[in-house]
Structure 1
Amino acid sequence: MTRRDLREQAHAGALPRRGGGFGRMLADVVLWVAALGGVLCMLLVVLALTAQITLIMFSTGSMSPTIPAGSVAAVQRVPASEVRVGDVVTVDRPGELPVTHRVTSVAAGAGADDRVITMRGDANAADDPFPYPVSSVRRVLFAVPGVASVIVALGDPVVLGGITLAASALVVWAFWPRPARGSRATDAAGEAVPRKADDT
């Protein structure tokens, strides 16, 4: 092997290589999870603006066992004319919390697009005390049990601040330059080959 070959090998070995190990793998996994979380948040914003799909949390068990307390549901706003018996819908009530129950009857309302509906929670023995005149409702698309407490915890300013600081530190650590390894080549005698102009 000529000195020129050794110099070329040394030049190739001087390129920085990413360190391996469990720490690097863990950092990559966390970064991917954070990236996916960001994509999910952006997707939810797009759905909220274009398809009127939002999330609601269930703090009571009136819809158990179909939707137990602590669940989070995706809901979509639809015209009252699309409501059918058996749908689970959220009705907004001025000055009160919204109610999410199953529709038990649908009747004509004051206008052509209005309806008067009665509802009942799956865990309740009777319909709600009063019917609801509505022009639109939020229909439940699907629900995920047990995640409401996680979302509430993530909304805490202290938790958000800690996550932000941890993510920032992780990004800095993951992309901090590592020292090059194997930047000097050795000759057959085991001595370092000095870098000089290429032989011709």
Structure 2
Amino acid sequence: MSTPTRRSLREQAASVGMPASPRDAPAPSGSTRGKRRGVGRVLADILLWVAAIAGVVCMVLVVLALTANITLIMFRTGSMSPTIPAGSVAVVQEVAASEIEVGDVVTVDRVGDLPVTHRVTSISPGASDAERVLTMRGDANAGDDPYPYTVQTVRVVLFSVPGIASAIVAMGNPYVLGGLTIAATALVVWAFWPRSSTARRRGVPEEPG
């Protein structure tokens, strides 16, 4: 008795309308679903990376705030336009007033009022070596501020990013924070939820039971 060859098996299968081998079989109906799941997993990985980067940025800001006195301030008015338009967020660093030069943009704290961030137009000595009397003006204003500021420390603007103040304000909303926390938790759980070992070995998506 002759041993059936691969060719003879193919011919027999073709005669009865059956695929001769798994390679000739039509693609399973779940392949499209598997592709969709693959795209979803890629998107989830991208979102996880974005969340991780955002977390690293937050940690870096905390470290800078503790070690280098670097913080953020938001601009609600346009007194520094067009250099720093309303809605911008600036990164500022607290420094001694003796380090300030004419032309710097600094934030000065005021007792009983909001801080003011304007450009320094003149500097005079104060009552002590550490003290300075600053005259300031907003870039959008026609004249200097109505009175000088006597300071020992100020916050100098390092750089600013326009248009993100509203997003940062929204982050302080408890409902927004709660929603982001729930969404991030769901994303992490979905991304790392274990799949069946059989599906992992075969490289096929799981089918609903």
Give the TM-score band, short-chain normalised: 0.7 to 0.9
Tell me which residue corresponds to 2:199.
Answer: 181
Equivalent residue in structure 1 for 2:100, among 71, 83, 108: 83
- Say whether residues 1:126 and 2:151 are aligned partners: no
Aligned-pair Cα RMSD in Å: 1.6
Larger radius of gyration: 2
Identity %: 72
Q: Report deviation, 1:155.
A: 1.2
CA distance in 2, matches of 1:100, 1:115: 16
- Say whether residues 1:106 and 2:123 are aligned partners: yes
- Say whether residues 1:52 and 2:69 are aligned partners: yes
SS at match of 1:97: strand
TM value normalised by structure 2? 0.77
Give the letter aligned to residue 83 of structure 1.
I
Give the letter aligned to residue 199 of structure 2.
R
Q: Larger % of helix: which?
A: 2
TM value normalised by structure 1? 0.81
CA distance in 2, matches of 1:145, 1:49: 25
Tell me which residue corresponds to 1:64.
Answer: 81
Runs of 4+ in 1 over 3 A off after TM superposition: none
Tell me which residue corresponds to 1:163.
Answer: 180
Q: Report deviation, 1:113.
A: 1.1
Tell me which residue corresponds to 1:32.
Answer: 49
117-126 vs 147-156, greater mean Cα deviation: 147-156
55-64 vs 149-158, greater mean Cα deviation: 149-158
Kindly tell me: are residues 182 and 126 of structure 1, through their superposed partners in 2, closer, same or farther at Cα, counting changes over 3 Å? closer
- Unpaired runs of 5+ residues, structure 2, are 1-34, 203-209
- Unpaired runs of 5+ residues, structure 1, are 1-18, 185-200
Give the letter aligned to residue 174 of structure 1.
A
CA distance in 2, matches of 1:128, 1:61: 15
